[in-house]
Amino acid sequence: MEFLKTLGQVQLVGIALLVGVVGYVYNVLRSPLNKVPGPWYASWTNIVTKYHFLTGCNPTYIHSLHSKYGPVVRIGPNDVDVADPVAAQTIHRIKDEFLKSEFYTQFLPGVTNIFNCVNRDHHRRYRRLLSSPLSETGLKPMLPQIDSRVRFGIQRMGEEMKSRGAVDICKWWMFMTTDIIGELTFGESFKMLELGRKNQYIKDLEGSAFIGGLRATFPLLSKLSFYVPIPFFWKAGPITGRLAMYSRDSIQRQRTLLEENPDMAPTLFSKMFKAKSEDSLSGVELEDNAQAYIVGGSDTTAMSLTYLVWAVCRDPQIKEKLVNELQTRLSDDFSYDDVKELPYLNQVIEETTRIYAAAPSGLPRTVPSGGASLAGYWIPGGATVLTQAYSLHRSEAFPDPERFDPSRWENPTKAMKDSMMPFGGGSRICLGVHLARIELRLATARFFRAFPNAIVSELEGMSDRDMDQDLFFLITPRGHRCLIQAN
């Protein structure tokens, strides 16, 4: 009797499994996304993209799919990558119809800020309250602070060049950008340039983009990791906890500083401390958004500067042209206004953000419920569409796309401009774009004015292999260093 009962239960489980499998297969075979080209396995699983994420090669893998299948390619059962500039603009429209996908919630669990919030109204409120101090006009009063940190960074690089024979620009740009965003956000820098060596804070910042991408790519494992230790994930909790703590402590310190000295130099958050509650963010919101600033505002700019200097130093003609412009067009006491419009400097920066986009990976968005036609393909509502700068920046608009060639920006075509998305687009375009451009211009100008003969060093075994790119959510040189020397 007991045996028959068990047999019945096994049969029931077997039937349920069979129904599940048949249902799954039926859904896969009938999916409207089947018309989108892509490898056969993409209809069944996105495990291959997940694997490539882990190896730091996902953007190059997806780019190889575009080379084979065209500008719209299916990369998972519900995921489509789009490398068509017009379709990318539709996805990233200011009207905000394609909302950020759940990827972003997983990126930073337990925190809601301007970067990861999905809700349209919440985002609009953040944007309304936070945009003005980071606009070009809003940043003007902060130019002296930014420039002073840039000068100090260059001075510290010079010191290392003397003592070591070469300078690790990757490290110093990271210290500089961290100090700048710290000072502008909290009123006090993290004093990394003074310290001159990586501490826990820098290690946490460096790890945060990888951890965020890891969590968002493996949401189930991420949840499980709260209960059982899982390789790779075990660092995530402590890093997130410490980043939250840095923000909390720094916001509290700013509050105290402001009480002690109401006339202290303005910060990106000053107005929030003084405003009425409806025009302000709560304490927790300030802390959460501070995290978006310190994480989003350090690595990105630092890695852009690192690849810029490396690429320029490798090509004597490009370096000569840039140095010549900086030496002939600038006086010794130049300021930001003098560098802002320098044509070749801006071309070098544009080309760096193209080929070494600091955020090269797909930016996932959910297709609105009515579905959308993108580059000739019908994509149903609820599907996830991704656009990756890595592919857009290598579109047909750029002949010989792997060549670092700033002069291609002398007279850019419309197609070139339309293909560029280094700072994202539409309503979710990078909030720090103006700050990033100020830092890139000032730091590049001051670096090549100070070290016009800079070359890539071969000291300590430094080679081009160190600069191979790890592409997780952000770009990182695989060797985690870039040694430059000058005489």
| Whether the Cβ atoms of residue 82 and residue 383 lie closer than 8 Å to each other | no
Q: How far is the CB of 291 from ligand HEM (least distance, A)?
A: 10
β-pair partners for 72: 82
Q: How far is the CB of 227 from ligand HEM (least distance, A)?
A: 29
Q: What CA–CA distance (Å, rounded) separates 238 from 181?
A: 22
Within residues 308-347, the interface with ligand HEM by CB under 6 A covers none
Interaction of residue 477 with ligand HEM, rule CB under 6 A:
no
Which of the ranges 43-51, 199-207, 209-217, 428-436 carries the binding residues for ligand HEM, by CB under 6 A? 428-436
Structure token pair of residue 356: 């070494």
Interaction of residue 72 with ligand HEM, rule CB under 6 A:
no
How far apart, in Å, are the Cα atoms of 239 and each of 205, 206, 234, 426? 8, 10, 9, 31
Interaction of residue 107 with ligand HEM, rule CB under 6 A:
no
Q: How far is the CB of 353 from ligand HEM (least distance, A)?
A: 6
Q: What CA–CA distance (Å, rounded) separates 382 from 403?
A: 38
- Which 3 state secondary structure label does DSSP give 429? coil
Choose among 5, 83, 4, 61: nearest CA to 394: 83
Q: How far is the CB of 115 from ligand HEM (least distance, A)?
A: 4
In the block, tokens 């009063």 appear at 141
Which of the ranges 34-42, 59-67, 429-437, 456-464 carries the binding residues for ligand HEM, by CB under 6 A? 429-437
- Which 3 state secondary structure label does DSSP give 471? strand
Q: How far is the CB of 358 from ligand HEM (least distance, A)?
A: 4
Q: What CA–CA distance (Å, rounded) separates 301 from 58?
A: 21
Which of the ranges 198-206, 339-347, 378-386, 424-432 carries the binding residues for ligand HEM, by CB under 6 A? 424-432
Question: Which residues make up each annotated binding site for heme?
Answer: 430
Q: What CA–CA distance (Å, rounded) separates 305 from 91?
A: 29
Interaction of residue 436 with ligand HEM, rule CB under 6 A:
yes
Interaction of residue 80 with ligand HEM, rule CB under 6 A:
no
Interaction of residue 88 with ligand HEM, rule CB under 6 A:
no
Within residues 115-154, the interface with ligand HEM by CB under 6 A covers 115, 127, 134
| Whether the Cβ atoms of residue 189 and residue 169 lie closer than 8 Å to each other | no
Choose among 366, 322, 364, 368: nearest CA to 347: 322
Which of the ranges 62-70, 311-319, 430-438, 454-462 carries the binding residues for ligand HEM, by CB under 6 A? 430-438
Count the residues of the shown chain that bind ligand HEM, applying the rule CB under 6 A.
Answer: 24
C-beta closer to ligand HEM: residue 99 or 154: 99
C-beta closer to ligand HEM: residue 293 or 451: 293
Q: What CA–CA distance (Å, rounded) separates 318 from 456?
A: 14
Q: How many CA atoms lie within 13 A of 419 on its CB side?
A: 26
In the block, tokens 């045996």 appear at 3
Q: What CA–CA distance (Å, rounded) separates 333 from 462?
A: 34
Interaction of residue 63 with ligand HEM, rule CB under 6 A:
no
Interaction of residue 359 with ligand HEM, rule CB under 6 A:
yes
Interaction of residue 363 with ligand HEM, rule CB under 6 A:
yes
Interaction of residue 75 with ligand HEM, rule CB under 6 A:
no
Interaction of residue 190 with ligand HEM, rule CB under 6 A:
no
β-pair partners for 485: 455
H helices present in 1-84, as ranges: 2-30, 47-54, 58-69
Q: Which one among 33, 169, 431, 442 touches ligand HEM, defined by CB under 6 A?
A: 431
Structure token pair of residue 200: 């826990």
**Residue with nearest beta carbon to ligand HEM:** 432
β-pair partners for 76: 79
Write the interaction track for ligand HEM spanning residues 285-304; mark x where CB under 6 A is met and - where it is not. Answer: -------xx--xx--xx--x
Structure token pair of residue 4: 């028959």
Which of the ranges 12-20, 194-202, 217-225, 422-430 carries the binding residues for ligand HEM, by CB under 6 A? 422-430
Q: How many CA atoms lie within 13 A of 377 on its CB side?
A: 26
Write the interaction track for ligand HEM spanning residues 221-260; mark x where CB under 6 A is met and - where it is not. Answer: ----------------------------------------
Residues at the site binding ligand HEM, with contacts judged by CB under 6 A: 114-115, 127, 134, 181, 292-293, 296-297, 300-301, 304, 358-359, 363, 422-424, 428, 430-432, 435-436
